Amino acid sequence: MALIRWEPLREMDSLQREMNRLFDSLTPATDRASNGVAFVPPAELDETPEAIHLKLEIPGMEAKDLDVQVTAEAVAISGERRHETKSEDKGMTRSEFRYGSFRRVIPLPARVQNDSVEAEYKNGVLNLNLPKAEAEKNRVVKVQLG
């Protein structure tokens, strides 16, 4: 009977790779960046009786590179993180940064006044204050950042 050495860390690494492949296969190909991994900014939604507060973490971008559109029922955020090219002799060994365009549409739990949205982009975090609507509005308004 042969003894086989058990290496739990190697098995956990293998399991993580398999889980990453599973989640990558669930992401639509049109949303994937050039390295095959989708860039989807994480969001935090908080609702009060007067307004909806939405925070998105979008580090490494400038406000001018973001496009925010608000309807009475949803918020659409899109942008593109461009790859910076460096002219070095040594070259790059590994990069875990995600480049490419992204688009995320977040449905809102209540109708909002899309013409009264307040936006702030600071330290890689986009904060939107969306006041709740009294009357229904179906107009799309482009939000100016900065």
Instruction: Pick out the chain residues at pLDDT < 50.
Output: 30-36, 136-138
Q: What pLDDT score was predicted for residue 138?
A: 46
CA distance 138 to 146: 25
Q: What pLDDT score was predicted for residue 137?
A: 40
CA distance 100 to 103: 10
Q: What pLDDT score was predicted for residue 10?
A: 81
Q: What pLDDT score was predicted for residue 120?
A: 95
Asked if residues 102 and 31 have their Cβ atoms less than 8 Å apart, the reply is yes
Q: What pLDDT score was predicted for residue 39?
A: 74
